[in-house]
């Protein structure tokens, strides 16, 4: 079987109107790091974790402003109330499977406690998203472990991001096809500045797939349940309120792919700003500080870019995924999920 895969843009589909960044990945936003741990063992283990770090420094000391949005809350996203209340993230963001959220928290806490300068830290808001990979993974078997998730955090790096059946996307399924990790980015002119915005998704949801505006014919039955976690980074200086609004827009891209937005879906989006000027350093957290912020009237181009980049990241997660055979934990049987079949570049 030909498992050579192409990103959706290579296949001729380019959602939206803004230009992508050089890698067309969340790592186009300077400082952002991504790490995967992929657990693919025997016939039953098809899972993993993906860590996204807003910057390469001490995140607990130099927090980043953030916003959070829920479309459908059938999910176990950890850390949301503090992100909303304080408008910030203070740890790596970890994506993993539904029953590994507790271990994801443990891994983040260990990481944070161990960092130099954090020896007096006694409160840590770990941010962990998940989707359910039980159609291909023996999710009841407690993998990835805390140590494995720590590997994802420790290996996070800038540069290209592995997509498809990798990290937290190893065992996920979207539209009855193999989903997984996908990413995309946009260059967004606002006034005289050009900001960067990048999105990374863990796709595991259903609906009637639309690719580039066309119903995608598939033999897969209508598979509507599942979830998606969307992480957005931008270097635009935004306050937490506008980051929350930006996170909300990611669901526009989700809808454009034909998502069913069903009862059983956990649809979450998290957006943060990497701009150095808005970073919440110990000095700035004291008393009054003047922080630059892109105002309400100027944010709309970023909103549209969030929609586009999310759509493309999702399509990349499908396009780059490979057919996977694993174990269906709800039925206790082996299962195979096909990859999407799209015309290859030379054959268009």
* 172 close to 203: Cβ distance less than 8 angstroms: yes
For a second copy, the closer of residues 26 and 124 by Cβ is: 124
Contact 307, 251 (CB under 8 A): no
The DSSP-derived string for 204-219 is E--B--EETTEE---S
H or E, element range at 110:
helix 101-114
> 204 with 48: CB under 8 angstroms?
no
List helix spans (H) across 199-257: 240-256
Residue 165: name the closest of 174, 156, 157 by CA. Answer: 174
The DSSP secondary-structure symbol of 321 reads -
How far apart are CB 71 and a second copy at their closest, in Å?
Answer: 7
Q: Which of 79/161 has CB closer to a second copy?
A: 79
Q: Judge contact between 311 and 250, C-beta under 8 A.
A: no
Taking every pair of C-alpha atoms in the chain, what is the biggest distance, in angstroms?
A: 61
- Shortest separation between residue 48's beta carbon and a second copy, angstroms: 17
Quick check: 250 and 277 in contact, CB under 8 A? no
The distance of closest approach from Cβ of residue 30 to a second copy in the complex, given in angstroms and rounded to an integer, is 18
Q: Is 300 exposed, middle or buried (0-12, 13-18, 19+ CB in 10 A)?
A: exposed
Residue 151's H or E segment, with its range, is helix 146-154
Gap between the Cα atoms of 140 and 171, Å rounded: 13
Q: Residue 236 Cβ, how far from a second copy at the closest point, in Å?
A: 9
Decide whether 23 or 298 has the Cβ nearer to a second copy.
298
- As measured in angstroms, the least distance from the Cβ of 145 to a second copy is 11
Which of 159/287 has CB closer to a second copy?
A: 287
Distance separating alpha carbons of residues 261 and 272, to the nearest angstrom: 24
Torsion of CA 283, 284, 286, 290, to 10 degrees: 140
Nearer to a second copy, 105 or 156 (CB): 105
Could you give the CA distance from residue 267 to residue 265 in angstroms, rounded to a whole number?
6
Which one, 161 or 315, has the nearer CB to a second copy? 315
Which residue, 8 or 78, has its beta carbon nearer to a second copy?
78
Residue count of the chain, please give it.
Answer: 348
Distance in Å, CB of 251 to a second copy, minimum: 7
Active site residues: 227, 265, 267
Shortest distance, CB of residue 338 to a second copy, whole angstroms? 21
Burial class, 325, CB count within 10 angstroms (exposed 0-12 / middle 13-18 / buried 19+): exposed
């Amino acid at each position: 079987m030909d498992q050579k895969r192409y990103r959706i843009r290579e296949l001729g589909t380019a959602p939206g109107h803004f230009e992508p960044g050089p890698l067309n990945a969340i790592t186009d936003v300077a400082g952002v790091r991504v790490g995967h741990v992929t657990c693919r063992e025997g016939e039953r283990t098809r899972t993993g974790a993906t860590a996204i770090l807003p910057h390469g420094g001490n995140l607990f000391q130099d927090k980043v402003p953030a916003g959070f949005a829920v479309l459908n809350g059938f999910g176990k996203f950890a850390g949301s109330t503090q992100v909303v209340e304080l408008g910030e993230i203070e740890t790596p963001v970890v994506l993993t499977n539904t029953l590994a959220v507790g271990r994801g928290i443990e891994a983040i806490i260990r990481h944070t406690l161990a960092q130099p300068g954090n020896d007096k830290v006694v409160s840590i808001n770990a941010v962990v998203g998940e989707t359910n990979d039980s159609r291909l993974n023996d999710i009841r078997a407690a993998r990835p472990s805390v140590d494995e998730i720590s590997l994802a955090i420790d290996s996070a790096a800038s540069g290209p991001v592995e997509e498809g059946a990798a990290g937290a996307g190893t065992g996920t399924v979207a539209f009855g096809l193999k989903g997984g990790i996908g990413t995309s980015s946009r260059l967004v002119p606002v006034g005289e500045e050009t900001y960067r915005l990048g999105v990374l998704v863990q796709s595991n949801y259903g609906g009637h797939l639309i690719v580039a505006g066309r119903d995608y014919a598939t033999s897969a039955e209508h598979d509507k349940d599942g979830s998606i976690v969307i992480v957005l980074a931008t270097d635009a200086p935004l306050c937490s309120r506008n980051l929350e609004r930006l996170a909300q827009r990611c669901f526009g891209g989700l809808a454009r792919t034909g998502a069913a937005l069903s009862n059983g879906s956990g649809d979450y989006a998290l957006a943060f700003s990497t701009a150095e000027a808005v970073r919440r350093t110990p000095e700035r957290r004291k008393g009054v500080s003047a922080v630059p912020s892109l105002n309400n009237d100027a944010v709309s181009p970023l909103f549209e870019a969030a929609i586009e980049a999310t759509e493309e990241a999702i399509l990349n997660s499908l396009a780059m995924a490979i057919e996977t055979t694993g174990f269906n934990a709800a039925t206790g049987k082996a299962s195979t999920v096909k990859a999407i079949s799209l015309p290859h570049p030379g054959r268009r």
